[in-house]
Amino acid sequence: MIAVSKARLLIQENIKMMPVQVVSLAEAAGYTLAMDIYAKMDIPAFEQSSMDGYAIRYEDRNLNLIPVGEMQAGGQTQYSLLPGQAIRIFTGAPLPENADTVVMQEKVELADGILKILDKQLISGMNVRPKGAETKTGELAIQKGCRLTPAAIGFLAGIGETEVPVYGIPSVGVVITGKELLQPGKELAFGQVYESNSYALTAALRQAQITKIKLYTADDQLDEVRLVMEQALQNNDVVLLTGGVSVGDYDFVVKAAELNKVTQVFHKIKQKPGKPLYFGLKGQQAVFGLPGNPSSVLSCFYQYVLPALQKMYAHVGVEKTQPGGLQIREAVLTHEYKKAAGLTHFLKAYFENGNVTPLNAQESFRMSSFAQANCMIELAEEETGFPAGTKVKIHILPE
Ligand SMILES: Nc1nc2c(c(=O)[nH]1)N[C@H]1C(S)=C(S)[C@@H](COP(=O)(O)OP(=O)(O)OC[C@H]3O[C@@H](n4cnc5c(N)ncnc54)[C@H](O)[C@@H]3O)O[C@H]1N2
Ligand code: MOO
């Protein structure tokens, strides 16, 4: 058995980033940019009005001006101002030649075809967006490693990009093992339990931007687990198995991984829940054997699988080595908590205003506390007593 810190390190050291691919901007949300993007053009591509009003020559501001035309956003006609002239202009329209300033329509007086400027605060260049104010041709527009948020995608579209190089987001095969499992909605026979791990994992994967998810099921027989794992490895970048990873006579995940030429990196961590967690590699593919108890599955997902996936698609920064995963904070324990030494404990807990309360029902077969939790408390392996008021490390669960 290895320590939690060692397991985290082994995952970070062994997980490799996904190859770079090009995706259309429309499909790019959530990906991480794999190359610097340089602006191909000046944006705005022309001097542009930022207000509805009148385009003028600043030096003419005290004259009686004659409006001689109109420029609408998208209009095709270009005007050239002569001294004493103005052009009616609208937000987004190109400035006429020789104009340098736009006066808001609220700050003019127009009577009998004569325009007077009333704006005492008017300064030269006011209400004009310079050409290239957003990006200049050849300039770095957005850096490699940026996450493609809605804002980043809008920015890239606005400077004329249509596709972007990104780190691929891994596809994930979820293999559910267990003879006792029944789909929810059907009537339970003796000894059966509702299959819930695939639901929790699929939801957690979707929350982590993973959309290519394939589900597989396998009975508790070595040959079947081996075969299904083989199929999952053929079709996915990452394979998550639940159940069958402990020491019982019907636990075949570790053996099946070996038969599939998956190299074990570790099996068993000094932690509760999720002690029998397995991690192996087949080339660049990662295999996680998640201990079957529903709460162990989700706990291991957040602590180990999520940081691994996030490293693969560079969610946590391209050149950086921080582990990713859940956001970590410190909080003050509201109630005393005791545990034995020897295992790191992850407790389902509720965090509010800097305080954290461990919830009831911490057993790994129970999900009711997890369903109410908004964080997990991490209690160190060798520590035993945690009086109320102790500062503890917490991991914030995604909403
Ligand atoms: N002698 C020992 N026994 C066990 C040990 C040990 O160290 N020595 N470790 C225990 C711990 S801790 C855990 S965690 C479990 C992990 O066992 P497995 O990964 O082999 O999981 P299973 O035995 O297949 O199932 C455990 C439990 O979870 C339920 N389960 C499984 N899959 C699902 C699913 N998809 N949906 C809902 N529930 C599921 C299953 O019915 C069992 O109740 O081993 C302990 N034993
Ligand atoms: O690791 Mo187990 O999850 O304690 O039941």
Of the candidates 128, 49, 130, the one whose C-alpha atom is nearest the C-alpha of residue 91 is 49
Q: Does pLDDT of 366 surpass 50? A: yes
pTM of the model: 0.88
Residue nearest to atom 33 of ligand 1 (CA): 292
* Rounded Cα–Cα distance for residues 67 and 81 (Å): 10
CATH number at 159 reads 3.90.105.10
Q: ipTM score here?
A: 0.97
Confidence band of 250 (pLDDT split at 50, 70, 90): confident
pLDDT at 314: 86
Residue with the smallest CA separation from ligand 1 atom 3 is 247
**Greatest Cα-to-Cα distance within the chain, rounded to the nearest angstrom:** 98
Instruction: List the CATH number of the domain containing 110.
Output: 2.170.190.11
Beta-carbon neighbour count of residue 334 at 10 Å?
Answer: 15
Q: Are both 100 and 214 inside the same structural domain? A: no
Residue 76 pLDDT grade (very low, low, confident, very high; cuts 50, 70, 90): confident
Mutate which of 267, 275, 278 for ligand 2? The one with the most ligand atoms within 8 Å of its CB, which is 275
Closest residue by CA, ligand 1 atom 13: 291
- pLDDT tens for 294-351 read 999 999 999 999 999 999 998 865 444 456 788 999 999 999 999 999 999 999 999 9
* 272 Cβ below 6 A of ligand 1: no
Tokens of 372: 């109410």
| Domain contains 43 | no
**By the 8 A CB rule, do 14 and 265 touch?**
yes
Q: Using the mean position of ligand 2's atoms as its centre, give its distance from the Cα of residue 230 in Å.
A: 26
| Shared-domain flag, residues 33 and 161 | yes
Domain count, the chain: 4
User: Domain of 226: which CATH number?
Assistant: 3.40.980.10
* 275 within domain boundaries: yes
CA of 181 to the centre of ligand 1 (A): 12
Nearest listed ligand to the Cα of residue 244: 1
Query: How far is ligand 1, taken at its centre, from the CA of residue 180, in Å?
Result: 11
pLDDT digits (tens, 9 = 90+) for 110-136: 999 999 999 999 999 999 999 999 999
Q: For residue 296, give its domain range.
A: 4-18+169-312
Nearest CA to ligand 2 atom 5: 364
Domain-located, residue 322: no
Task: Identify whether the C-beta of residue 299 lies closer than 8 Å to the C-beta of residue 277.
Answer: no
Two tokens at 373?
A: 């939790």
Tell me the average pLDDT of the chain: 95
